[in-house]
Amino acid sequence: MNNIAYTEISKSVRILCVNTDKFKTNCIKVDFYLPIGEYFPAQNVLASYMGHTSKKYSTVKAFNSKVEGMYDACFDTTVSTVGEKVRIRFSMEILDDKFSIDGNSISQEAVDFLVEILSNPNATENGFDEELTTREIRFTLENIEAMKNDKRAYAVSRLRQLMCKDEPYGIDNEKLEEGVRNLDGKQLLDAYKDMLKTATVVITACGSVDSEMLKDKFEAFAEKIENRNPAELETVFVTKADEIRYFKEEMDVNQAKLVIGLRAGMKDSNDDYFAYRVMTDIFGGGPYSRLFLNVREKMSLCYYCGARLIREKGIILIQSGIEEENYEKALSEILNQLDIMKKGEFTDEDFNSSIIALCDAFKGVEDSPVAVCNFYSSQEFDEKIISGEEFAKKIGAVTREQVIECAKRVSVDTVYLLKGEENND
């Protein structure tokens, strides 16, 4: 069992440090959680901007040289949504101090770098640099647009938007792009100030990073922020779909992409989570799952057909790539398999395969520094933070009956098909 230090250094600023000497890499993640709101477009640009320039390292070359000089530290900034929370993440993977050629502490240098770029962005009191803002707006727009290159991801984002149209979760990419396009340096500065003032901040580290050093440096960082007033972070859970909605859209694709959105029936992210996890896995997890064995192996309709639970929003997504002419056949078999789950007609073997595979996977979750950080930081809003071993135990305690009860609460909300264009020439 790893040695875990957990501290709240000030209001809604928390540090979780997993100390272990088994790795050659250390990992540090600084996450800012905010509600999805008016600053969302600016937050997207902000993360990109702060990942390429700062007051001290203003050019791309200077910024990247600093990062590269720390023995190829992997530094990244990302914006994503976790349920209906926005997460702006600054993450670093660095070589462990014991491999430093000149004897300097790489982890201390990395923490100093993180604090430096978070505290001193490339801005004046009037706003972020306009020229660089224009560049970062371009990167952000191209990044949003690039989702269309990945047809599977694009189909999922369309389903999400259509299914959760009236919820903050249903992000409309066109509106997001419009918002991004109209930004200026002043608005970026406002978004930056808002992030510092209202975000819940979670710092997660894994490896041999000195937890006292980490605490001291981030304490000093947090103390400088005036009038901290963390925003409430809530996600709406819709527990039932009234009726199934069907959508078909056309794009220049070779293979049709089918995405089905289900309401799991969860009231919040902790509601019967472990039983839902097992249920989704039996239904569409590994190669032992109902969807893999039937839609792929028995019917040869696809290469991939799987389901995953989005715990933070209480929805289940099913994805498959099929020939358009097989749409009815695939859809009806997928729904048939869901029905089998609800009626409890899956076999004991299905159930046992899933439990043993999930337990096995969670027991191994602490074998990479990045996985450790992701695993623990994903539990930040749970009732209690537990280890991979304890996680596996909870999975192992799920019963067949609980799985059936969960399946009964699932309802189909939206069926989406992205298909090739008619008159395809």
Q: How far apart are CA 356 and CA 85, in angstroms?
A: 32
Residue (of 96, 116, 114, 93) closest to 105 by Cα position:
96
Question: What's the half-sphere exposure (Cβ side, CA atoms, 13 Å) at 96?
Answer: 12
Note whether 356 binds other proteins by CB under 8 A: yes
How many residues form the binding site for other proteins (CB under 8 A)? 70
Distances (CA, A) of 260 to 81, 88, 199, 295, 326: 20, 28, 33, 14, 15
What is the pattern of x (binds other proteins, CB under 8 A) and - over residues 384-413? Answer: ----x-------------------------
Reduced to 3 states (helix: H, G, I; strand: E, B; else coil), residue 387 is coil
Phi and psi at 369, nearest 5°, equal -60, -35
Q: How far apart are CA 135 and CA 128, in angstroms?
A: 12
Q: Which stretch binds other proteins (CB under 8 A): 84-92, 182-190, 299-307, 399-407?
A: 299-307
Q: Which stretch binds other proteins (CB under 8 A): 237-245, 270-278, 292-300, 340-348?
A: 292-300
Residue closer to other proteins, measured from CB, 43 or 235: 43
β-pair type (305-310, 315-322): antiparallel
Q: Which of 81, 105, 138, 167 binds other proteins (CB under 8 A)?
A: 138
Least Cβ distance, residue 27 to other proteins (angstroms)? 10
Burial of 42 (C-beta count, 10 Å sphere; 0-12/13-18/19+): buried
Handedness of CA 94, 96, 99, 102 (dihedral sign): positive
Q: Which stretch binds other proteins (CB under 8 A): 79-87, 137-145, 182-190, 236-244?
A: 137-145
Residue closer to other proteins, measured from CB, 68 or 382: 68
Reduced to 3 states (helix: H, G, I; strand: E, B; else coil), residue 201 is strand
Least Cβ distance, residue 396 to other proteins (angstroms)? 11
Residue 115 corresponds to which tokens in the numbers above? 């604090």
Note whether 70 binds other proteins by CB under 8 A: yes
Residue closer to other proteins, measured from CB, 237 or 362: 362
Q: Which of residues 255-284 bind other proteins (CB under 8 A)?
A: 255, 257
Give me the residues that bind other proteins (CB under 8 A), please. 20, 22-25, 48, 52, 59-61, 64-65, 67-73, 93, 95, 99, 101, 135, 138-139, 142-143, 145-152, 251-255, 257, 286-288, 296-297, 300-304, 321-323, 349, 352-353, 356-357, 359-361, 363-364, 366-369, 388
